[in-house]
Structure 1
Amino acid sequence: MNEIREEEKKQQANGVPQGANSNQFKPLDDTREYIPEIGQETYDNPTAGISPFTKRIKKGAWILLGVAIAGIIAYGTMSTSKSVDTSDDAAVALESHMSTSLAAGTKLMSSDDNYVGGDLTITHNSNADETTLYVWDYAAEDGDYVEVIVNGTSLGEPFMIKNKPVTFTVPTVGEVQVVGTRDGGGGITYAVYYDMNHTTYFNGVDQGGNNTYTLVRE
């Protein structure tokens, strides 16, 4: 009897039934694996688990992509070069430096040839007070700059002439000057087209020089 009581005391002290006669359920060891919970900081900082080296690689890739895109845009904006016109009309215009059949913006040469033209008097029968003047580089886009002056007044800052024409509104009677302000190499070759008589004049000027077009109505 004393032995039974001693065993009960041990059970009460340990809180768990002891002995072979105990039918108390003993839980098995939990061997399941749990996926760690994602902390809130992961949502706040998605790159928390990315190594600094990987971050640098990704950042560098984005920078290179941005530079490439910017370069493509800049090239498309700055370069307006077109193909050389090799037609019979173009060949005649290259010799006479004038054409009534070629469109404004026609390119006659792939490179400048140091051609220096001169002043011109243009007689026309237009009744309009104003006309559109087109100015462009009919050879290579090599950084030539000109300034347009009408009756002593500049129409704006010097600009780089390209194969794509720049237009101005000018009077049909008076003087139009094209001043060569910068030679990008090989001479400043340019062309002007007057809408009043549908004629193109292929001219050239030295840096610091100018060509004067005197417009006279018949």
Structure 2
Amino acid sequence: MANYRQNKQRPKSHATNQYESRQTENDDVPLEYTESSVNRRSSSTEKKKNKHRLWIGITVLIAFGMGIYFQGSTSTIKDVQSDGIGKGMQAGVLLVSSDDLADLAARDFKIEMKENTTTSRMLIWDFAAEDGDVVTVKVDGNILQTDINIMNNPVAVDIPVPSVVEIIGVKDGGGGITYGVKFPGAVHNSAYFNAAPVGSSNAYTITVQ
């Protein structure tokens, strides 16, 4: 009976020794291996931080550049009052809230188109309030389009090149007839701002480079 008890206890003792052996093996893992794992994790974390900083820097630079661009591209009526020319201004730009604030003189302009240009468009719009101003367009003395109600959104009129385009004031909606025009394909990327009292006209002489 005593022998039976001893035999029954031996496997338990053997299992305990195996557990202790495995535990001892884990305790004997080289310190260098543990430090290497920590270093790899630390390096990975640092790379993620650096990547995050990089994207933050790029975002800041883009925002800064856009701020400079939009600040530099702000147009006012003072930019065009001296000669009626808005250098680099886009068609449809709004400069004042009402026509009587424009203080523009009626002018004629010469527009030079790029080489080999035979046709173009004239974009015309009201750069102030939409108050019902109406104009008629002539090309080389012939009526091309009558009674154009100029609005803030540009109206496109096809024109031949070369030619002389006239814009004639027909109806003053209040404060004077003022408008802007632009000719896509012109050598100088400018918009032109003008005044056309009722019955008078502005001439745009379109030439080729």
Q: TM-score band, normalised by the shorter chain?
A: 0.5 to 0.7
In structure 2, the CA distance between the partners of 1:189 and 1:86, relative to structure 1 (3 Å rule), is farther
In structure 2, the CA distance between the partners of 1:126 and 1:110, relative to structure 1 (3 Å rule), is farther
How many aligned residue pairs are there?
Answer: 134
Question: In the alignment, is residue 99 of structure 1 matched against residue 90 of structure 2?
Answer: no
Aligned partners of 1:126 and 1:109: how far apart in 2? 35
How far residue 194 of structure 1 moved from its aligned partner, in angstroms, is: 0.3
Q: Superposition RMSD on alpha carbons, in Å?
A: 2.1
How far residue 95 of structure 1 moved from its aligned partner, in angstroms, is: 4.6
Q: What is residue 176 of structure 1 aligned with on the other side?
A: 165
- Name stretches of at least 5 consecutive residues in structure 2 with no aligned partner: 1-70
Aligned partners of 2:120 and 2:114: how far apart in 1? 12
Q: Is the 8 A contact 1:177 1:211 kept in 2?
A: yes
State the AA in 1 paired with 2:196. Answer: V
Q: What is residue 203 of structure 1 aligned with on the other side?
A: 194
Identity %: 35
Q: Is the 8 A contact 1:189 1:204 kept in 2?
A: yes
In structure 2, the CA distance between the partners of 1:100 and 1:217, relative to structure 1 (3 Å rule), is same
SS across alignment from 1:128 = coil
In structure 2, the CA distance between the partners of 1:94 and 1:108, relative to structure 1 (3 Å rule), is farther
TM-score normalised over the length of structure 1: 0.56
- Name stretches of at least 5 consecutive residues in structure 1 with no aligned partner: 1-84
- Mapping for residues 53-64 of structure 1, pairs under 5 Å: none
Q: What is residue 35 of structure 1 aligned with on the other side?
A: none
How far residue 195 of structure 1 moved from its aligned partner, in angstroms, is: 0.4
Q: Is the 8 A contact 2:81 2:104 kept in 1?
A: no
1:140-167 Cα deviation digits (max 9, x unpaired): 1111100111111212221211101110
State the AA in 2 paired with 1:166. Answer: V
Q: What is residue 95 of structure 2 aligned with on the other side?
A: 108
1:164-183 Cα deviation digits (max 9, x unpaired): 11101101211000000011
In structure 2, the CA distance between the partners of 1:95 and 1:118, relative to structure 1 (3 Å rule), is closer
- Mapping for residues 12-161 of structure 1, pairs under 5 Å: 88-90=74-76, 91-113=78-100, 115-161=104-150
Aligned partners of 1:86 and 1:165: how far apart in 2? 23
Q: Which has the larger radius of gyration?
A: 1
In structure 2, the CA distance between the partners of 1:169 and 1:213, relative to structure 1 (3 Å rule), is same
